[in-house]
Structure 1
Amino acid sequence: MRSLKDFNQDLIRFLDASPTPFHAVTSMSKQLDAAGFTEVKETDTWVLQPGQGYYVCRNGSSIIAWRQPAVDAAVNLGWRLIGAHTDSPCLKVKPTPELHRQGYFQLGVEVYGGVLLNPWFDRDLSLAGRVSYRTDAGRMASVLIDFETAIATLPSLAIHLDRDANASRAINAQTYLPVVMGQTDEKPDFRALLKQYLEEQGVEQVETVLDYELCFYDTQGAAMVGLKQEFLASARLDNLLSCFIGLQALLDGGEAATGQVLVCNDHEEVGSLSAAGAQGPMLSQWLERILPDVDQRNRSLSRSMLISADNAHGVHPNFSDKHDGNHGPLLNAGPVIKINANQRYASNSETSALFRHLAEQVEVPVQSFVVRTDMACGSTIGPITAAELGVKTLDIGVPQFGMHSIRELAGSRDAHGLYKVLQQFLQTDQV
């Protein structure tokens, strides 16, 4: 089991290397490769060996990784699944984004997910994602790109021109958010600029850029902050933090008779309804390939459990009235069991009890979160996956501040604590 310091250093490297879901899945794939896992393609016939590790990707933005159990073990002991999501709220470049106003080159953006918009202003922004192009030979290809350096910004309007800004400025997503890329005398062609960039990066035979999925991100890297380095500050903690924790638990969990699975889906922030999302068929289709026999598959699921890991709202010292007085999770006080009577979270008394039992075994404290009764509750992939598969489920998360901001904050000890509990979960025969 890795030390807290080593764990957090690896976490920071992962966060910085993963500005988009595509990059996150690539980063996870590299770690799986290094650990001896084998990638299998959805287009191929799978020949799987018990005891071996495998992974499969869809759309380049969702991934399932697992250790293959023997069929009898899968049926009689079930699966231990950890679920998370790879996407985060952000600003995505529109298909025809070019704007030329007052001599400035700007790109129009769409808001992806429930973005906290104010913190996006006055940041050093870069651009990353996937670009699809046609080669000189007339074939289609795709490549991941990351400009890495600051190439854009979103300047605030000076308070002198809006004296009521601190009291009542509302952000119009259409008119306030076009990102400033630079100054020019002519309206640029964004696809032509991407073609030039690809060629400068050594991508050969690019005839024309056909399309792209690109999002802006803050170039400020992840860092430990606080007088005693109590906090981890970064973009995309929701929910790359859980992806990393689940991956490390799988990699360091060792062999077990039960099936060990990590599934990280894209598109959770916009409802999960996609081919690569949790409300799509990816996980069920994977399970059908692993256990084609319907009776065996259903028996296996009845002995299985999913832990849906997605960050929780820590109680903010300036806004403590936004929490139920008995359910305000503190940073660095342990992972949080998320509970909702209306099934916005999938936890129940049995799955919560098992988590508490496992946490006690590794001496990790546990907290609970229930939203105020007079407030609406968010949700996760937990209820979606539970409904799709019929598998018992627990919703948990690391507490954080600033959820859906361009820069979020979590406790520097909580991720490591959850990692220890999830290792125990992957080994347990009690479900």
Structure 2
Amino acid sequence: MIIKISETRIHSKEAVQAAAKEFLNFVNKGVSPYHVVEECKSRLLKAGFTELKEAEHWDIKPASKYFVTRNYSTIIAFAVGGLYKPGNGFSMIGAHTDSPCLRVKPRSKKTKLGFLQIGVECYGGGIWNTWFDRDLTIAGRVMVKVSLCDLKHACVTCENKPHWFSHTKQERFVTDDRIFMFGQKNPFTILAEKHHPALIQMLCGHLGVEPNALLDFELCLTDTQPGALGGVYEEFIFSPRLDNLHSCFCALMDSSTPDSLAKDPNIRVVTLYDNEEVRQQKALRELILRRLASTPDNLTAIQEAVPLSYMISADMAHFAHPNYQAKHEENHRPAFHKGPVIKFNSNQHYATTAVTAAILREIAGKVAVLLQDVMVRNDSPCGTTIGPILAARLGMAVLDLRAPQLAMHSIREMCCTTGVLQTTTLFKGFFEHFPFIRSTVTVD
């Protein structure tokens, strides 16, 4: 598959490539939700944001930027418009830090034929056969006094069994049968009931602590191969965790320049949270919004703000696969390099309405970003997103927006390079133009 960027691009090839390479730097560092949040914190601090703590009193000021984290896997950043008053609206983008992966079980110790093995659990709806025969490593967080751990080198693998062992073409993935090989027995012994001493030793060596300093850990397996540009024209991105670090990166790239923020009557909010892949939605966003809107002089500020607010539920969409184009609804086949995708579903699996779509189209027109529409076939299953959940919970206007990709939920996914800059430009335009465009479109 070869697509010339020059046929569809709005931005220069140099700008497209620069944005794609910066995204790859982000995704290669985000090997777990905890690493994603850590990288986001670093970028926000460099951009002039101030970190707040939930348990402390907040003194929020106009034309100022803040962020707060929870569980080291969720981060909410917000920039207060210079013209903001209690009761004004929120301009919001939501994405998720987690991706389908294999997570180390609380009791992972297994041994077969002299090999030390790690028991793992499937997290999210991954394409699990793509994890076979890969060079894997371990990443996550270790409770010493809370530390992040990314061993980087390949220390784990899941070897496929010989093809003549299989009696059927399709075999169900069962983790008990696909335990990940860790190493061979070592005389080094550590008092560890739940995990192999070799694993404890490796973690301690990486962190520079004694074994008795370890309290607990949450670890996942991750591919050691970094994301990269590919294609004849380097028009594609091949990478793990595109779903959904693509949206996380693009949402955070709004610089909230002082001049732009000073004229904004709204509060700009970006929420990046964990556990979307298993449909567990936290109430943190609602708590933060109520806290920001509350004031002793206006007890109904949050109720006044909701109808003036708008949220983009940002995730990924299935590109129209050239080998399975019949699986896609005619006239609704997302293409690479043609812009982000608006998702529609009359049964409300997606939250987009004609009103929310019209607002985003107006914004896209102002910043010269192409948009596409997508619906699934009537005889095909339709996934769901955070959009309808948060629309119902918060009672505000929501739109489901996606970047097209192939191999969704594989250990190695694929998207186009232009999508990064197109989505980043659209999100920046959304924050800058929504409050004024919203006044021209009826949302009630």
What TM-score, normalized to structure 1?
0.91
Show the 5 A alignment for 1:30-69: 30-69=42-81
Separation in structure 1 between the aligned mates of residue 134 and residue 70 of structure 2, nearest angstrom: 32
Match of 1:26 in 2: 38
CA contact under 8 A between 1:84 and 1:239: conserved in structure 2?
yes
Aligned residue for 1:341, secondary structure, equals coil
> Quick check: 1:384 aligned with 2:389?
yes
CA contact under 8 A between 1:39 and 1:55: conserved in structure 2?
yes
Deviations 1:291-320 (A, max 9, x none): 224411111111010001100111100111
Q: CA RMSD in A?
A: 2.0
Show the 5 A alignment for 1:358-373: 358-373=363-378
Match of 1:281, as an amino acid? A
Match of 2:159 in 1: 155
Match of 1:282 in 2: 284
Match of 1:216 in 2: 221
Distance 1:53 1:292, change over 3 A: same
Deviations 1:135-186 (A, max 9, x none): xxxxxx2111000111111111122333x56xx1313323332101112267
Aligned residue for 2:339, secondary structure, equals coil
> Quick check: 1:114 aligned with 2:90?
no
Separation in structure 2 between the aligned mates of residue 416 and residue 241 of structure 1, nearest angstrom: 11
User: Which residue of the other structure, out of 337, 342, 364, is the alignment partner of 2:342?
Assistant: 337
The alpha carbon displacement at 1:193 in A equals 3.9
Match of 1:90 in 2: 101
Aligned residue for 1:308, secondary structure, equals strand
> Quick check: 1:262 aligned with 2:266?
no
> Quick check: 1:350 aligned with 2:352?
no
CA contact under 8 A between 1:191 and 1:209: conserved in structure 2?
no
Matched residue count: 414
Deviations 1:180-238 (A, max 9, x none): 11122679853644543344235446624232111001111011111111111110000
Aligned residue for 1:307, secondary structure, equals strand
Match of 2:150 in 1: 146
Distance 1:128 1:202, change over 3 A: closer
Match of 2:397, as an amino acid? K
Match of 2:3 in 1: none
Match of 1:138 in 2: none
Distance 1:251 1:61, change over 3 A: farther
Separation in structure 2 between the aligned mates of residue 171 and residue 122 of structure 1, nearest angstrom: 17
Match of 2:171, as an amino acid? A
> Quick check: 1:14 aligned with 2:26?
yes
Match of 1:176 in 2: 177
Query: Comparing 11-20 with 369-378, which one deviates more in the overlay?
Result: 369-378
Ranges in structure 2 where 5+ consecutive residues have no aligned partner:
1-10, 439-444
Aligned residue for 1:300, secondary structure, equals helix
CA contact under 8 A between 2:17 and 2:417: conserved in structure 1?
no
Deviations 1:261-290 (A, max 9, x none): 100111000012xxxxxx321011111211
Match of 1:79 in 2: 90
Q: How much identity, in percent, do the aligned residues show?
A: 37
Aligned residue for 1:109, secondary structure, equals strand
Match of 2:294, as an amino acid? P
Ranges in structure 1 where 5+ consecutive residues have no aligned partner:
134-140, 273-278
The alpha carbon displacement at 1:355 in A equals 1.2
CA contact under 8 A between 2:108 and 2:196: conserved in structure 1?
no
Separation in structure 1 between the aligned mates of residue 356 and residue 257 of structure 2, nearest angstrom: 23
CA contact under 8 A between 2:47 and 2:255: conserved in structure 1?
no
CA contact under 8 A between 1:74 and 1:258: conserved in structure 2?
no
Match of 2:265, as an amino acid? A
Separation in structure 1 between the aligned mates of residue 177 and residue 255 of structure 2, nearest angstrom: 43
Match of 2:27, as an amino acid? L
Separation in structure 2 between the aligned mates of residue 207 and residue 185 of structure 1, nearest angstrom: 20
Show the 5 A alignment for 1:173-252: 173-184=174-185, 189=192, 190=195, 192-204=197-209, 207-251=212-256
